[in-house]
Structure formats: structure tokens, C-alpha cells
Amino acid sequence: MQEQQNNGLNQNHPEIEKPAKPNKRKKIIWTIVIVTLVIGACTFAYLYGEYKARQAYYDVADTEAYPADSVHVDGWASPEDYANWKNATFPIPQYDDIPTPFKRGIVKIFLDNGYLNGKEGDDIYFFTKIKDRAYRVIAYGDFTGQGDREMAFVLENSDFESSAIFIIPQNGNILYWKKLSNELPTIKSFKKGALIYLNEMKLVPAPNDGIIKQTKNSKYVLIYNKQTKTFDEYYQYTEDDIKNAQETEEGDEPEETADTIVVEQ
């Protein structure tokens, strides 16, 4: 009788004999989760590796072997043009440390404007070959305040009296260009917050990175105006300028004069 009852219990509750189904379901779910995580990790590693490789390409100086472009950049010379013309564009070793993206942009500027194969009498510009001066015609900074590294550089004119200043981003497209007649200045950069003269004879913090353009007789800052979207120049006063201005102000004050009115008694 008891055996029959036990058999009856087993027939009414067949799940007692098959407890493995939920475990199989869990294993399948965990397998799917693990595979998904592995695929995600591999995808992230690949994309991150591509990103780091691209960043390294932008940051390194020129080398004989450089990676092929993964994107088309309008402001760069082609790899073939760059290889053919880089030595003519950068004539001395002092320019070797210029990052490759900027170099390719500069080579394109030279080619587009005929600086490398111009005829006699043309307006030709070139980098100075004076070693001590070469370091003083290049400056880097975030001049437009967009968070990108930008480059300013000065090229000399074939008349050896004039020059031109350029500002370009890493993609090479020109942000600013100006011919400097009868000027051969040097340049250097300053950081946002540096004290400079803007609209008056009073030092104020610079609103963003900028460029100091200096000659024997004058010093100017070139700084980006976010309202007008232009680069504006501001004269930088010397100690003599300030002293002379103070003396002029003192000289303009009215002198005290003796009372000449005679009081009759």
C-alpha cells in the first residue's frame, strides 16, 4: 500500500525527478551575457586603440615613415607632395620638431601660393634660414579658444624687408593671414590670463591665448575677438610710454597764479 502511495506521489509530482531545467536556462543566459561583454570589450579596445593611434599621429614630430590618412583633410598636402616638398619648405633642422599635421598644412600653403616654384619678381615667402631666429618665428596655443592646438608662424618675403604672419589649426586651413610691410618681427605665445594692454594704458588679463609680435621698435599682441570672429592687434606700452604719458598729464594741470586784485582801502 505504501509503495503504491509513493508511486502515486511520484506520478503527481514529476518535477521532483527533473530539477535540471532551471539550471540549463541560467547557463544559457549567463553564456549570452558573457559573450556580449567580451564582444563589447573587444570593440571598445579596438576603437580606443584607433583613437590613441590618431592622437599620437597628431602629436609626434615629422618622421620618414608616417601612417596613411584615415580621413581626407582638405588643408593637408598629399603624402606624395609632402614627401617631395617638405625639405624645400623647411630648410634647416630647427623646424624638425613641428608636428607633421602642421607641416603638411604649411606645405600645401606653399604649393597653393607658388612659394616653392615661383618666378623672379613674384611675391615669394619662405622660412628663415637663420638658426637663432628660426625658434622665434613659430608659436603654439589655443588662440581661438576652441580647445584645439593652433600654430602661428612668420614667413619672410623675397625682398628681405617684409614678411607675413599665418595662423593655422592642425588641419592646415588658414585662420589668419596678414602681410607685414617693412617688418621682420619675432613672435611668441602667451596664455589666457596673462596681463596685457588692450583698449587703454591699463594691464588686464588676456581673455584667451594670444601672440606677441615684436620688432626692435614696437610690441603688439594679436588676440582673437570672439564677438567679431577676427584677430585684433593691440599696442603694448613700454615703460617710457607710461612715463611720458604721466609727465604729459602732470604738465596739463593748471598752474596756481598769485591773486593780482588790489583791494582798495
What is the model's pLDDT at position 70?
Answer: 47
Q: Which of the two residues, 253 and 262, has the higher pLDDT score?
A: 253
The predicted-structure confidence for 102-122, as pLDDT tens digits, reads as follows 999 999 999 999 999 876 667
Count the residues in the chain.
Answer: 265
C-alpha cell at 105: 598644412
Note the pLDDT tens digit of each residue in 138-169.
Answer: 999 999 999 999 999 999 999 999 999 999 99
258 Rama class: left (phi>0) / alpha (psi -120 to 50) / beta? beta
Q: pLDDT of 188-236, one tens digit each?
A: 999 999 999 998 999 999 999 999 999 999 999 999 999 999 999 999 9
CA distances from 262 to 255, 258, 259, 265 (A): 21, 11, 8, 9
Q: Answer yes or no: is pLDDT of 5 > 80.
A: no
State mean pLDDT over 78-100. Answer: 97
